[in-house]
């Protein structure tokens, strides 16, 4: 029985994959992951299992596979930040796992902005917009993972509805890819743009207002 390797592969571009994650990927017999994360390793011609939506099917495949082969689950960013680590930890416990850290989308975006992230609250919006206002009032700002339903436009509308028009939203779209776009503006400005499904958002006070 092999340990299951969960490797964080960063925001997406090959240049942001750590040598340790690349080595784990190369050593694996099977790569498991979402389409975007598997595509990067196409040239290695590995056997792959594309994760679509059923967590139970994913688990059964990994659990069966690891009896005879080295399985590496490739996840975006870091495995410990709103990723599959929670799921496999609950199912298998820490002894069955080898976790390789990766560069998270939040680390990448804050680095691009040359901004320290220690005073920001790091959150995910997957499924909900509640609690942002409280976090904004308590901390230096908020970083959010977004999804198709909770996209930057929804966040902008939420801030306007809460009377927080003076905050600045920065959207990091398709980070590290050739079509990367990083845009900042007040909520009413950000509302006017259309973004892809792959975005993260930073909300903070406008320094010009201080
Ligand atoms: C399931 S979460 C995984 C987060 C990941 N573990 C991390 O550390 O960044 C997926 C979300 O991460 C964000 N994300 C990941 N890669 C991204 C990229 N290249 N550009 C923009 N957002 C990205 C998006 O908000 C996406 O919906």
Q: How far is the CA of 14 from the centre of ligand 1 (A)?
A: 15
- What CATH number should be reported for the domain whose range is 106-209? 3.30.950.10
What average pLDDT does range 100-107 have in this prediction?
98
pLDDT of residue 206: 80
Q: Tell me the C-alpha distance between 75 and 97, whole Å.
A: 14
Q: How far is the CA of 210 from the centre of ligand 1 (A)?
A: 31
pLDDT of residue 90: 97
Residue 19 confidence (pLDDT) above 70: yes
Ligand 1 atom index nearest CA of 125? 25
Tens digits of residue pLDDT in 140-159: 899 999 998 899 999 999 99
* Domains 4-103 and 106-209 are alike in CATH topology: no
What average pLDDT does range 104-122 have in this prediction?
97
Rg (CA), the chain: 19
**Which of the listed residues 51, 145, 146, 148 should we mutate to test ligand 1's pocket, taking the one with most ligand atoms within 8 A of CB?**
145
Report which of 22, 6, 25 is spatially closest to residue 14, judged by C-alpha positions: 22
- Residue percentage of the chain with pLDDT more than 90: 86
3-state secondary structure of 123: strand
pLDDT of residue 131: 79
Residue 128 confidence (pLDDT) above 90: no
- HSE-up (13 A, CA, CB side) for residue 201: 32
Q: How far is the CA of 1 from the centre of ligand 1 (A)?
A: 31
**Which of the listed residues 198, 199, 201, 202 should we mutate to test ligand 1's pocket, taking the one with most ligand atoms within 8 A of CB?**
198
Report which of 55, 64, 62 is spatially closest to residue 98, judged by C-alpha positions: 62
Query: Which residue's entry shows tokens 């930057």?
Result: 152
Q: Tell me the C-alpha distance between 60 and 54, whole Å.
A: 10
Alpha helices in 66-181 (DSSP H): 85-92, 105-112, 132-138, 152-161
Ligand 1 atom index nearest CA of 145? 25
pLDDT of residue 152: 96
Using CB atoms within 10 Å of the CB of residue 209, give its burial: 0 to 12 exposed, 13 to 18 middle, 19+ buried: exposed
Domain 4-103 has CATH 3.30.1330.20: no
pLDDT-based confidence at residue 132 (cuts at 50, 70, 90): confident
pLDDT of residue 133: 87
Kindly list the domain boundaries of the chain, sorted by start residue: 4-103, 106-209
Residue 130 confidence (pLDDT) above 80: no
Q: Tell me the C-alpha distance between 40 and 57, whole Å.
A: 23
pLDDT-based confidence at residue 134 (cuts at 50, 70, 90): confident
Site residues for ligand 1, CB cut-off 6 Å: 11-12, 75-78, 81-83, 104-105, 145-147, 172, 174-176, 198-200
Tens digits of residue pLDDT in 48-96: 999 988 999 999 999 999 999 999 999 999 999 999 999 999 999 999 9
Tens digits of residue pLDDT in 20-41: 999 999 999 999 999 999 999 9
């Amino acid at each position: 029985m092999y340990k299951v390797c969960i490797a964080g592969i960063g925001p997406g571009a090959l240049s942001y994959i750590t040598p340790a994650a690349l080595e784990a990927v190369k050593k694996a017999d099977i790569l498991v992951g979402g389409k975007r994360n598997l595509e990067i390793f196409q040239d290695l011609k590995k056997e792959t299992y594309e994760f679509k939506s059923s967590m139970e099917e994913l688990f059964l495949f990994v659990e069966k596979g690891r009896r005879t082969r080295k399985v590496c689950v490739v996840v975006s960013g870091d495995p410990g930040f709103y990723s599959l680590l929670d799921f496999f930890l609950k199912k298998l416990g820490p002894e069955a796992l080898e976790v390789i850290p990766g560069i998270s989308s939040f680390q990448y975006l804050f680095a691009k902005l040359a901004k320290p992230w220690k005073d920001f609250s790091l959150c995910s919006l997957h499924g909900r917009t509640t609690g942002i206002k409280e976090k904004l009032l308590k901390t230096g700002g908020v970083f959010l993972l977004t999804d198709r339903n909770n996209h930057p436009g929804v966040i902008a509308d939420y801030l306007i509805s809460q009377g927080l028009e003076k905050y600045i939203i920065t959207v990091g779209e398709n980070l590290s890819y050739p079509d990367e776009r990083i845009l900042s503006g007040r909520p009413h400005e950000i509302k006017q743009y259309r973004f892809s499904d792959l975005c993260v958002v930073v909300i903070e006070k406008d320094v010009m207002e201080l």
